Amino acid sequence: MFKTRLISSIVLVIIALVTILQGGYLLAAVLLFLALVAYRELMRACKLSGEGKKCNGLEMTGYAGIVVYYLLMTFTTERIYLFLAVIMILAAFMFLYVFTFPKYRAEQVMCAFFNVAYAPVMLSCIYLVRSLPYGVYSVWMIFISSWICDTCAYAVGILFGKHKMVPRLSPKKSIEGAVGGVVGSALVGALYGYFIVEPVITEQKVTWVFVLISAVGAVISQIGDLTASAIKRNHEIKDYGKLIPGHGGVMDRFDSVIFTAPMIYLLVFVFIHG
């Protein structure tokens, strides 16, 4: 299992390097694929998907909305359209709810819309960060805050973890591990900002900004991880899918990234480009 997870992790890092460095259409296409898979995984977890390989109305509405959202994200520069797209996706779900009544219950429709906003829309912030000036540098803060935090939290938790953070939800996670994850992310963010980014962005000192972004992002990433775990526990499933060998589905591997991406977008926009 460890060997499988390691190989999968290496492949994921290579894919991330290639797609993010390239940016543009390639990054948008990869994120769209991940968004559609994540939506499918969430719909299955919530028992809202069609039987077998068939898609029901809720799924089709979500898929169509996600595709339209990502097309607007890729081919327009006015970000207000993305906000309007989310509103129109909600309107489409309401249209389906009304004109197929009583096929779907209100809570099913609300859950389906949540599944669109939760993973697909939040994942799109990776592209939005990459599209900012110097985005090729700042976008890596999403993964430093997520994957570095996860690694450091695991290591510190194994070595020093004594106090359980949320024992009923995730018994193996400790307060010591959580603190270690935040500190580790902040340290890596500081090194990245000082040695990689400051020589490029010479008009301002960004190291302290990257420390702040890394620390806040690390806190948010752990909330994202626990949120995905809580949903799995509510619906009594072990993994969201089997797409990534040794890791599970997109939601299993990108759970923290999904939450971190919007926060990094906000912080980078405010502190570096604001």
Looking at the structure, tell me whether residues 138 and 127 fall in a common domain.
no
Looking at the structure, tell me whether residues 142 and 120 fall in a common domain.
no
Where a domain ends, among 131, 166, 200? 131
Q: Which two tokens stand for residue 93?
A: 């779900």
Looking at the structure, tell me whether residues 230 and 259 fall in a common domain.
yes
pLDDT, position 35: 98
Count of domains for the chain: 2
pLDDT, position 2: 58
| Domain encompassing residue 1 | 1-131
Looking at the structure, tell me whether residues 272 and 140 fall in a common domain.
yes
Rounded to whole angstroms, how far apart are CA atoms 136 and 249?
A: 26
Looking at the structure, tell me whether residues 176 and 73 fall in a common domain.
no
pLDDT, position 94: 98
Classify residue 108 by burial, with Cβ atoms within 10 Å: 0-12, 13-18, 19+.
middle
Where a domain ends, among 104, 131, 158? 131
Where a domain ends, among 95, 111, 131? 131
Looking at the structure, tell me whether residues 112 and 148 fall in a common domain.
no
Q: How many CB atoms lie within 10 A of CB 11?
A: 12
Instruction: Compute the C-alpha angle 235/240/242, nearest 5°.
Output: 145
DSSP readout, 67-120? HHHHHHHHH---THHHHHHHHHHHHHHHHHHHHTTTSS-HHHHHHHHHHHIIII
pLDDT, position 1: 57
pLDDT, position 138: 94
Query: How many residues can be counted in the chain?
Result: 274
Looking at the structure, tell me whether residues 140 and 265 fall in a common domain.
yes
Looking at the structure, tell me whether residues 189 and 222 fall in a common domain.
yes
Looking at the structure, tell me whether residues 109 and 157 fall in a common domain.
no
Spans in the chain with pLDDT lower than 50: none
Rounded to whole angstroms, how far apart are CA atoms 53 and 5?
A: 28
Looking at the structure, tell me whether residues 48 and 153 fall in a common domain.
no
What pLDDT digit, counting tens, does each position of 184-228 carry? 999 999 999 999 999 988 777 889 999 999 999 999 999 999 999
pLDDT, position 53: 67
Looking at the structure, tell me whether residues 240 and 256 fall in a common domain.
yes
pLDDT, position 195: 95
pTM metric for this prediction = 0.94
The DSSP H or E segment spanning 174 is strand 170-174
Q: How many CB atoms lie within 10 A of CB 236?
A: 7
The DSSP H or E segment spanning 180 is helix 175-192
Q: How many CB atoms lie within 10 A of CB 197?
A: 20
Residue showing tokens 């797609």:
19
Residue showing tokens 């990869």:
30
Looking at the structure, tell me whether residues 235 and 180 fall in a common domain.
yes
| 3 state DSSP class of 272 | coil
